[in-house]
Structure 1
Amino acid sequence: MRKLARKYGAHLLAADGMFGELAATAGRPECWAADGVHPTPAGHAALAAAWLRLVA
């Protein structure tokens, strides 16, 4: 994905890094993605905020 985004000049929200950072700083990864994959409501809110920062 990163390679394609660079190639085509597309926005890319690197959610893996974002969630890794959130999990490390919050100390509770399950707060952001209870099963480690699917975002919780707090995880969706973090994604939305990150997307808005990216495209604004």
Structure 2
Amino acid sequence: MIQAVRRLAREHGAQLLAADGMFAEPAATTGPECWAVDRVHPTPAGHAALAAAWLRLVA
């Protein structure tokens, strides 16, 4: 599914925030539950990290 999303973003010229890999480094030191308890739905800290990354992407 990730590859399909990346392909669609390319085809449509959309900016893509590649969140699938974004948490790998911080999760290695803090544990994945800090960012998404169930590894899918972000915690408040995960939402804050996504928001900051999105702002960097579009600013």
User: TM-score, with normalisation over the residues of structure 1?
Assistant: 0.88
Match of 2:26 in 1: 22
Q: Which runs of 5+ in 2 are unaligned?
A: none
Deviations 1:1-56 (A, max 9, x none): 100111111010010100222212x3311100011111000000000000000001
Q: Aligned partners of 1:18 and 1:53: how far apart in 2?
A: 13
Match of 1:37 in 2: 40
Are positions 1:54 and 2:36 aligned together?
A: no
Alignment: residue pair count: 55
Q: Aligned partners of 2:30 and 2:44: how far apart in 1?
A: 17
Q: Which runs of 5+ in 1 are unaligned?
A: none
Percent identity between matched residues is 78
Name the Cα RMSD after superposition.
1.0
Deviation beyond 3 Å, 4+ runs, structure 1:
none
